[in-house]
């Protein structure tokens, strides 16, 4: 059943977006400090904050922490009212749907999983609508109007269309419109790695860094780039895709149509394919390959090192081109990171140019629930942050 959206505090200016984001990620924070951090005058901060206060998204605390409506003293901290609105975030994987409900600060208030038995679009839409219904069965439903969805692949956020998702076998699926029809919620789609990067930018390793890259290793090799506080999408929505940087001339074919891409060498499937070839055991499982490599099987260790080398080359290309302060490496492949970390670091150190090599590599396991939280963060962002990149 369609829900009517509440009266919202409109983003009327980039200043409003900046003030809101500063309070969201760093608050409670005094208006004088918001002014200092954003370069706006105190008067401009007050003006930008007013519609958010009137709509109940921000509040002004007395210096002692009590609410002080209308007091308007520059030293009084501005704070988010996290329970003003809730957001649904869902990550779609090839096997299941992982959903959360978060508050305005992207703190998780409820979570649930649904297995996917098919990649048929109708099935996924229905399963996702059921999951959203389950998540919003209690009090949270009264103040939830927005759904953020994270999908792997080429996602057009503006039109709400999944252009190409190899793991789901989808091309040009108008997912946002279908989900809006099925749930009544306002839907924002985002590439899953970019969604995770938004959560990291606001609430994780990216806080305080003006630029950082997030790289995920696992079923695919994904990446997202935040520069000057903004996610880089590029004119075609696929900027920063190190998974499809070619690193081996004449290397294995990639599902994208290219050859020798990082993903064609270092994805879970690529590792397993080569491990089976090297061991001469076509039925070898990933678990066995990992266990034997850890046990010292040199040919299998070489397979993982080769994947690490490809990832290291991809990371160096990314860092040489964009120079982020740090690179966060995550994804389900991090569980076996011990098998490629040495090689990633060695290759990266050799290939990163000059002082770009000082870029920190941070390994951070992030469970799928964190990706769903990223999807919710994208829904929050779509409401409150004016896009500048
Ligand atoms: Zn490729």
Give the CATH number of the domain where residue 320 resides: 3.30.420.40
Ranges 2-16, 110-124, 211-225, most confident: 110-124
- Ligand 1: centre distance to CA 258 (Å): 5
269 and 319 part of one domain: yes
- Ligand 1: centre distance to CA 244 (Å): 4
Q: Is residue 8 part of a domain?
A: no
Which tens digits make up the pLDDT trace of 312-363? 999 999 999 888 888 999 988 888 889 989 999 999 999 888 777 778 888 8
Q: How confident is the model at residue 2 (pLDDT cuts 50, 70, 90)?
A: very low
- Ligand 1: centre distance to CA 246 (Å): 7
- Ligand 1: centre distance to CA 152 (Å): 14
Q: Exposed (0-12), middle (13-18) or buried (19+): which is 280, by Cβ within 10 Å? A: exposed
291 and 264 part of one domain: yes
Max distance between CA atoms of the chain, in angstroms, equals 75
DSSP β-bridge partners for residue 246? 261
Q: Is residue 113 part of a domain?
A: yes
Q: Is residue 169 part of a domain?
A: yes
- Ligand 1: centre distance to CA 260 (Å): 7
41 and 95 part of one domain: no
- Ligand 1: centre distance to CA 254 (Å): 5
- Indicate the residue among 80, 97, 112 that finishes a domain: 80
272 and 187 part of one domain: no
211 and 352 part of one domain: yes
189, two tokens: 């789609």
- Ligand 1: centre distance to CA 219 (Å): 13
Which tens digits make up the pLDDT trace of 154-178? 899 889 999 999 889 999 999 999 9
Q: Is residue 134 part of a domain?
A: yes
- Ligand 1: centre distance to CA 265 (Å): 10
Residues in the chain: 389
Per-residue burial over 150-180, b = 16 or more CB atoms within 10 Å of its CB, e = otherwise:
bbbbbbbbeebbbbbbbbbebeebbbbebbb
- Ligand 1: centre distance to CA 236 (Å): 16
Note the helical H segments in 136-191: 175-183
So what's the pLDDT on residue 364?
84
Q: Is residue 264 part of a domain?
A: yes
- Ligand 1: centre distance to CA 221 (Å): 10
Q: Is residue 6 part of a domain?
A: no
Counting the structural domains of the chain, the total is 3
66 and 157 part of one domain: no
20 and 141 part of one domain: no
| Residue labelled with tokens 């590599």 | 361
Q: Any idea of the CA torsion for 93, 232, 238, 148, to the nearest 10 degrees?
A: 30
Which tens digits make up the pLDDT trace of 45-99? 989 999 899 989 999 887 655 555 554 566 789 999 999 999 999 999 989 999 9
Q: Exposed (0-12), middle (13-18) or buried (19+): which is 359, by Cβ within 10 Å? A: buried
- Ligand 1: centre distance to CA 196 (Å): 21
Q: Residue 71 gets which letter from DSSP?
A: -
Q: How many CB atoms lie within 10 A of CB 228?
A: 9
- Ligand 1: centre distance to CA 243 (Å): 6
Q: How confident is the model at residue 133 (pLDDT cuts 50, 70, 90)?
A: very high
- Ligand 1: centre distance to CA 241 (Å): 9
| Res. 211: pLDDT tops 50 | yes
Q: Is residue 9 part of a domain?
A: no
126 and 75 part of one domain: no
121 and 165 part of one domain: yes
So what's the pLDDT on residue 64?
57
180 and 315 part of one domain: no
96 and 42 part of one domain: no
Q: Which residues constitute the domain of residue 55?
A: 14-80
- Indicate the residue among 64, 80, 96 that finishes a domain: 80
- Ligand 1: centre distance to CA 287 (Å): 25
Q: Which residues contact 383 (CB under 8 A, 6 or more apart)?
A: 8, 11, 146
Q: What is the pTM of this model?
A: 0.83
220 and 294 part of one domain: yes
Q: How many CB atoms lie within 10 A of CB 122?
A: 10
Q: Is residue 104 part of a domain?
A: yes
Q: Report the SS3 class of residue 140.
A: helix
Per-residue burial over 230-262, b = 16 or more CB atoms within 10 Å of its CB, e = otherwise:
ebbbeeebbbbbbbbbbbbeebeebeeeeebbb
- Indicate the residue among 80, 103, 130 that finishes a domain: 80
């Amino acid at each position: 059943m369609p829900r009517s959206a509440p009266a919202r505090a409109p983003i009327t200016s980039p200043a409003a977006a900046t003030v809101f984001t500063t309070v969201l990620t760093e608050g409670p924070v005094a208006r004088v400090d918001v002014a200092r951090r954003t370069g706006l005058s105190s008067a401009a901060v007050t003006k930008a904050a007013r519609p958010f206060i009137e709509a109940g998204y921000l509040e002004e605390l007395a210096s002692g922490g009590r609410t002080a409506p209308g007091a308007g003293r520059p030293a009084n901290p501005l704070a988010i009212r996290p329970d003003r609105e809730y957001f649904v975030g869902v990550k779609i994987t090839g096997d299941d749907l992982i959903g959360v409900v978060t508050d305005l600060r992207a703190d998780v208030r409820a979570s649930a999983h649904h297995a996917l038995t098919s990649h048929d679009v109708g099935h996924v839409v229905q399963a996702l609508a059921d999951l959203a219904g389950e998540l919003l069965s209690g009090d949270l439903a009264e103040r939830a109007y927005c759904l953020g969805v994270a999908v792997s692949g080429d996602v057009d956020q503006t039109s709400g269309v999944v252009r190409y998702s190899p793991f789901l076998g989808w091309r040009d699926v108008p997912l946002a419109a279908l989900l809006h029809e099925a749930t009544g919620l306002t839907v924002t789609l985002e590439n899953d790695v970019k969604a995770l990067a938004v959560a990291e930018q606001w609430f994780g390793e990216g806080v305080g860094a003006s630029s950082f890259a997030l790289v995920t290793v696992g079923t695919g090799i994904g990446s997202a780039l935040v520069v000057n506080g903004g996610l880089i999408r590029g004119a075609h929505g696929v900027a920063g895709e190190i998974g499809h940087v070619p690193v081996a001339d004449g290397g294995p074919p990639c599902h994208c149509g290219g050859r020798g891409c990082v993903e064609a060498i270092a994805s879970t499937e690529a590792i397993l394919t080569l491990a089976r070839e090297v061991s001469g055991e076509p039925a070898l499982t990933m678990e066995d390959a990992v266990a034997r490599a850890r046990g010292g099987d040199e040919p299998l260790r070489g397979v993982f090192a080769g994947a690490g080398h490809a990832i290291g080359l991809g990371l160096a290309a990314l860092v040489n081109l964009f120079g982020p302060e740090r690179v966060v490496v995550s994804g389900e492949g991090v569980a076996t990171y011990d098998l490629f970390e040495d090689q990633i670091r060695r290759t990266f150190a050799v290939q990163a140019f000059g002082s770009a090599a000082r870029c920190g590599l941070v390994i951070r396991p992030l469970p799928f629930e964190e990706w769903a939280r990223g999807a919710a963060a994208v829904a929050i962002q779509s409401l409150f942050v004016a896009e500048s990149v």
